Structure formats: C-alpha cells, structure tokens
C-alpha cells in the first residue's frame, strides 16, 4: 500500500468517526478547514469521543492499535475519559500462516522443528500485532510456548510511524491541543517502545531478571526462559496453567481470598519499584494470572515482559518521601521535594507551588482512604507541576500507568482495598532501611571503586556545597574564615567538614540534593573524613 493510499484511508477513518470534533475546526489552517468542510454537514456523533477514537484505531490496524495502547499510558497528557477507553484496546489480530511461523523458527534456531521440539502445535495459542505464540514440548518433556515476530512487521511499522510523525507534526504546528499533548514526543516514545518489542531476546532477559528477583517468593511467579531456544526472533518460555485474573467466577469457585489477592498486587508493585528497582510496566489484566491452589494465599503469575521500568536512586528516594508527605498533607514538603529532586526548576516559587498542590490534593483527602486513587493523585500532581515547568521523565510516566493498572485491578477484585494501609508501612520501612549501616556498607561495596576515583574532588565539592547552603540562608549560617595554609591543617579541616557531612546526610537527607554529582553523598563524605584523619 502506497503512503498516499494509506493517508487517504486515515482521512476516511477520521471522517467516519468524526475525529474532527476533537479540535476547534475554525482555528485550523485554511487548507485543513477546506478538507474537513464537508464534515459540518454530517450529523453530530452519538458515541463518546474516547470510544470513537478507539474504534478508529482498531479500524486502522495493529500498528495504530499499539499506538493507542501507548497513548493510554500517558495520563499526564491524555484526558482521563480517552485513557479509560484506550485501555480497552485488545491486541488480538488474525494469525499469519502457520507454515511461515515454522519457517521463521527453523531459520532463527538453525534446525528443523522436529529436532527442536518433541511436539509442536501448528495451531497458534494467540496472535497479536507484533508476534504470534504456539504451544510445544521440548525434547526433555518440558511444556513451553514459542513466540516469534510477525514476518515483514518492521517495514510496516516504519511506514506507519513515518505517517504518524507527519500527522503529529502537522497537529502540533496547527492546533493548541496538538502542542499541549506533545504528540511528536509521544510518537517518538512509541517508536522506541515498539522496536524494543521486536527484540525477543530483550524480553527474555527482562523475564529472566524478574523471575530471579521473585525466586522463592509467595507473591509472584514468572515463567522460565529456555535460552537454548531463544534469540532476537524467537522466545521459548515455560508454559503456565493458571486462572486469568479477570475470571472472577472461577476464582470465586476456588474460594479465593480476594482481599489478600488485591493487597498482594499492591505489595508486588512496591517491592518491584523500591526493593528491586525493576518493575513490569505492562501489567494490564491480559498479562496477569492467578494460581488459586492455595486460595487463602493466592499467588500471581506474570507474562509478557517486553516493557519494564526502572527509576534512578534519586527518583526512588524522592518518590517515597513525596508519597509520605502527600498523605501527611505536608504540601510544602511536597513542593520542596520536587525542587530538590530536580523535577521542577530550582528557582520555583515554593509558596505558589505549595498552594497549587494544596488546591489539587485537599479535596481528594476529604474522601475515605479506600476511595483515593494513588495513581490519579500522582497524575494530578504531575499535571499541576507541569505549570511550573516540570519535565516528566518516561520512567515516572510508566510508573504512574503501572500504579493505575494495579490499583484498578485491585479494586475490581476487592472494592474496599485501602492501598495506603499496604503502602505506608512499606515506604516507612524502606526509607528507614536506606540509612541503616548495613545498607551503607552494601553501597560502599558496590560503588567503592567509583568513589575512590572521585575522591580527589571531594574537598572542593564539600566547600562548594557549604557555600551554597550559606548563600541560601545567610542570616542563620555564619561565614567561616579559613586561614590555615599548612597542608596537614587543611587536611583536618577537610576531615571535619566531611564528618559534618555525615551528620547532615543522616539528619537531613534532602540536603543530599546538593551532592547529586556523586552517588550516596554522605557515605563518600564519611569515607573522606576517615581517610583524611589518618593523614599524618
């Protein structure tokens, strides 16, 4: 299909679903108004705008469906009613030829299907826009699923992405909504995401790490990857038998404890984000199953690890403190943490930012805790912060979306789920353990070589930091005159400053924002102080 023909198909779909109503046509350029002039004669659409957009994307095919799924992960940019509807997009398309699937597997693995597998089911288990899955049995008797990339999908994706970029640039140049939603950025994220999904070895590596993180855990099970049969084009994983999390009737038949099931979902999320710093970022119901063999202690099973998220250590820390401050209604601290984290510019007016956060959060906290959405709270908070030039990082957006999914699923299973009852003690414990001696020792083991490499820069960094603190609060910090020129004396001054840094870093962790050039600032200062005290 030519690019011009494809564009004509898109325009027909826009007209059919009246997507022109998403914009103020009178404010569009003259060429666009002429192109859409005939639409004014059509009756007003009866379906909600979100449903019309979803149906249009479904008609345009698999690549646009995947794009819609990505749009649903941007609640910071996309209105809530559209996000909810796009969440319903199902990545279910007709399978491609089974003989072609076999040929792909044989070429990728360099052997015949009969030699690779004891049994191979030529009828697909599932078929999606990017890949297809078949059941099989390895020569050792292990039941597995075989996943392979659709033939020619790379070329199709590249063509459609070029068209999406063209449309996005036009909308950004000619409409306010297009600029507000930063569509070219969204399309760019989509391109990176979908091409990552084409590398099945990457997905296998993600699944392998997630499985190792939860090895022996009663909370989550991740199927095993068989690396002897896996590469960029083919992924072979353990086949699981479990109940889809959406099959509530079957779970009820097993007398599943839905309260425990919902709370365990929350615990899994916070464990991934804070303890492992590696979280499954595509936790929609189609990727989640339940093992109800122990109904009072049900266990989750997760598949499809193509999209995973991580946070920086600084983002982990500031996110945890933000959540605790929000639920204490300490809005000034929330504002200050946003500045210290670098999420908003350093010169932000704290008073104005605090008032804006209070305006968003206070009405939410007038409701019972079990009715408060953590995910929506973060979305509202980040939208407010955008007014103060906050640039939301993709990792934080993925986290928002994952939290929304987990929270929504948990409340479907158990409507009275109180997310805060699970989250609060977890966050308190995590922050406390972060500054325990054994945690600092682990940081020393991990970062010791880098710290030694950076050690000569520490004294200068200390004094720069103290100068900045003095400048910020000149009324309460007295300047210190350093007149000693003796090398040994300077060493003891540096040592004293370093040891003081231990206290500052422990008592006021937010001051470590001044030391972000070096990881785990107060630990470095402690090491510097001890070493310098030994200098004769």
Residue range 103-118: mean pLDDT, rounded: 95
* 24 compared with 325, residue with greater pLDDT: 325
What is the tens place of the pLDDT at every residue in 327-353?
A: 888 999 999 999 988 888 888 999 999
Percentage of residues in the chain having pLDDT higher than 90: 31
Rg (CA), the chain: 27
pLDDT band at 440 (very low <50, low <70, confident <90, very high): low
Q: What pLDDT sits at residue 506? A: 41
Q: How far is CA 403 from CA 73, 308, 348, 354, 380, in A?
A: 11, 13, 28, 24, 14
Q: Which residues of 15-44 are buried (b: 16+ CB within 10 A; e: fewer)?
A: eebbbbebbebeebeeebeebbeeeeeeee
Q: Does 29 score more than 80 pLDDT?
A: no
Answer for the pair 13, 56: CB distance below 8 angstroms, yes or no.
Answer: yes
Q: Are residues 136 and 61 in the same domain?
A: no
Identify the active-site residue in 76, 282, 315, 418. 282
What is the tens place of the pLDDT at every residue in 191-202?
A: 887 788 889 999
Q: Are residues 375 and 271 in the same domain?
A: yes
Q: Are residues 118 and 235 in the same domain?
A: yes
DSSP-derived secondary structure letter, 37 = G
Which residue range forms the structural domain that includes residue 475?
437-533
Q: Are residues 107 and 83 in the same domain?
A: no
- Taking alpha carbons only, the member of 67, 66, 83 closest to residue 75 is 83
Last residue of a domain, one of 404, 434, 464: 434
Residues pairing with 272 in the sheet: none
Q: How far apart are the C-alpha atoms of 108 and 155, rounded to whole Å?
A: 19
Q: How far apart are the C-alpha atoms of 443 and 356, rounded to whole Å?
A: 37
Last residue of a domain, one of 224, 240, 256: 240
Any idea which of 114-123, 282-291, 500-509 has the lowest mean pLDDT?
A: 500-509
Q: Are residues 79 and 97 in the same domain?
A: no
Element (H or E) spanning 308, and its range?
Answer: strand 308-309
* 389 compared with 467, residue with greater pLDDT: 389
Q: How far apart are the C-alpha atoms of 346 and 472, rounded to whole Å?
A: 12
Give the tokens for residue 530.
């001890």
Q: How far is CA 449 from CA 152, 210, 215, 514, 532, in A?
A: 47, 28, 30, 22, 18
Q: Are residues 113 and 141 in the same domain?
A: yes
Per-state percent for the chain, helix, strand, coil, to nearest 5: 60, 5, 30
pTM of the model: 0.72
Q: State the total domains in the chain.
A: 4
Give the tokens for residue 149.
């990339």
Q: What pLDDT sits at residue 76? A: 60
Residue 127, helix vs strand vs coil? strand
Q: Are residues 235 and 338 in the same domain?
A: no
- Taking alpha carbons only, the member of 488, 495, 499, 496 closest to residue 536 is 488
Residue range 461-466: mean pLDDT, rounded: 71
Q: How far apart are the C-alpha atoms of 408 and 243, rounded to whole Å?
A: 18
Q: Does 411 score more than 70 pLDDT?
A: yes
Answer for the pair 288, 300: CB distance below 8 angstroms, yes or no.
Answer: yes
Give the tokens for residue 23.
């914009």
Active site residue 87: no
Residues pairing with 147 in the sheet: 133, 235
Q: Are residues 174 and 253 in the same domain?
A: no
Q: Are residues 142 and 74 in the same domain?
A: no
Q: How far apart are the C-alpha atoms of 360 and 384, rounded to whole Å?
A: 8
């Amino acid at each position: 299909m030519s690019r011009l023909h494809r564009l004509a198909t898109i325009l027909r779909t826009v007209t059919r679903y009246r997507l022109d109503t998403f914009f103020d046509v009178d404010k569009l350029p003259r060429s666009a108004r002429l192109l859409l002039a005939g639409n004014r004669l059509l009756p007003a659409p009866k379906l909600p705008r979100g449903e019309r957009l979803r149906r249009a994307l479904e008609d345009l095919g698999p690549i646009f469906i995947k794009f819609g799924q990505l749009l649903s992960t941007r609640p910071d940019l996309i209105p809530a009613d559209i996000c909810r509807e796009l969440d319903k997009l199902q990545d279910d398309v007709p399978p491609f030829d089974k003989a072609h699937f076999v040929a792909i597997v044989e070429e990728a693995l360099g052997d015949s299907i009969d030699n690779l597998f004891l049994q191979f089911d030529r009828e697909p288990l599932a078929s999606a826009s990017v890949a297809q899955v078949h059941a099989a049995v390895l020569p050792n008797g292990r039941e597995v699923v075989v996943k392979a990339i659709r033939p020619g999908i790379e070329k199709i994706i590249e063509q459609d992405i070029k068209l999406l970029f063209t449309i996005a640039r036009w909308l950004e140049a000619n409409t306010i909504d297009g600029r507000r939603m930063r569509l070219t950025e969204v399309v760019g994220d989509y391109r990176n995401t979908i091409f990552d999904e084409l590398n099945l070895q990457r997905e296998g590596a993600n699944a392998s790490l997630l499985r190792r993180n939860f090895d022996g855990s009663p909370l989550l099970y991740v199927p095993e990857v068989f690396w002897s049969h896996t590469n960029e084009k083919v992924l072979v994983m353990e086949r699981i038998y479990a109940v889809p999390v959406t099959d509530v009737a079957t779970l009820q038949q097993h007398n599943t404890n839905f309260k425990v099931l919902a709370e365990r979902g929350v615990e899994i999320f916070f464990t991934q984000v804070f303890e492992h710093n590696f979280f499954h970022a595509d936790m929609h119901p189609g990727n989640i199953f339940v093992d109800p063999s122990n109904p009072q202690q049900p266990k989750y099973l997760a598949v499809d690890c193509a999209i995973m998220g991580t946070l920086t250590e600084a983002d982990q820390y500031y996110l945890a403190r933000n959540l605790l401050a929000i639920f204490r209604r300490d809005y000034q601290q929330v504002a200050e943490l946003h500045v210290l984290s670098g999420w908003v510019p350093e010169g932000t007016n704290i008073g104005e930012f605090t008032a804006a956060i209070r305006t968003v959060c206070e009405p939410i906290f007038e409701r019972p805790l079990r009715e408060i959405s953590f995910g929506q709270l973060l979305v509202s908070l980040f939208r407010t912060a955008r007014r103060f030039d906050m640039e939301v990082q993709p990792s934080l957006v993925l986290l928002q979306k994952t939290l929304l999914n987990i929270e929504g699923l948990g409340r479907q299973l158990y409507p009275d789920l109180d997310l805060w009852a699970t989250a609060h003690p977890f966050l308190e414990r995590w922050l406390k353990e972060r500054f325990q001696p054994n945690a600092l020792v682990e940081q020393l083991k991990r970062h010791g070589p880098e710290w030694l490499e950076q050690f000569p820069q520490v004294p200068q960094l200390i004094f720069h930091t103290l100068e900045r603190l003095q400048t910020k609060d000149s009324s309460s910090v007295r300047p210190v005159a350093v007149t000693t020129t003796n090398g040994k004396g300077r060493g003891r001054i540096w040592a004293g400053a370093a040891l003081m840094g231990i206290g500052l870093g422990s008592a006021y962790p937010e001051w470590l924002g001044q030391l972000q050039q070096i990881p785990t600032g107060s630990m470095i200062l402690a090491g510097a102080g001890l070493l310098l005290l030994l200098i004769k």
